[in-house]
């Protein structure tokens, strides 16, 4: 049954879809478990403090915030390089397989990468330098101000 070669071309997309969905669901589930465990531990800590009669401070706002990385313009540089090299890798791989017609599809991710890189050169570099200068000025102000 499995030795038949007509069977496998249908299984490849099936496995791709099933494993792709399974990986996404696993990521969602592990994020849920992490957040649930953090809430449980924080609740237990607060209940123990209340039992002992210790004043419990209010929950910080950051506790309820999502774990989202702040935007940085340098991320566009990274995205551009990744997309560009994925596209170039696809072009080279398909040319190596003697499939020059399919190799043209590698221009799509390469074009996306070039768009990110052009944006970074045109706008993102100045944004990154401005944000870094702002961070340096904040850091130097905190060093100069006396600790209260």
Q: Give tens-digit pLDDT for 97-133.
A: 887 888 889 899 999 999 999 998 988 888 888 888 8
Tokens 């499939």, residue? 99
pTM above the 0.85 mark?
A: no
User: Do residues 79 and 116 make contact, with C-beta atoms less than 8 angstroms apart?
Assistant: yes
The mean pLDDT of the chain is 84
pLDDT digits (tens, 9 = 90+) for 68-106: 677 777 888 889 999 999 999 999 988 888 878 888 898
CA distance to 31, 44, 71, 75, 83, per residue, from 89 (Å): 32, 51, 28, 21, 10
């Amino acid at each position: 049954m499995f030795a038949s070669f007509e069977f496998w071309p249908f299984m490849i997309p099936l496995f791709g879809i099933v494993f792709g969905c399974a990986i996404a669901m696993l990521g969602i589930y592990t994020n849920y478990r992490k957040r649930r465990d953090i809430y449980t531990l924080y609740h237990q800590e607060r209940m123990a403090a209340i039992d002992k009669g210790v004043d419990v401070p209010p929950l910080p706002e950051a506790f309820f915030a999502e774990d989202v990385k702040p935007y940085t313009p340098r991320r566009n540089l990274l995205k551009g390089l990744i997309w560009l090299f994925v596209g170039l890798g696809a072009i080279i791989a398909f040319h190596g397989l003697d499939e020059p017609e399919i190799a043209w599809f590698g221009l799509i991710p390469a074009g996306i990468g070039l768009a990110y890189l052009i944006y970074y050169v045109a706008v993102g570099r100045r944004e990154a330098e401005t944000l870094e200068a702002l961070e340096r000025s904040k850091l130097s102000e905190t060093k100069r101000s006396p600790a209260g």
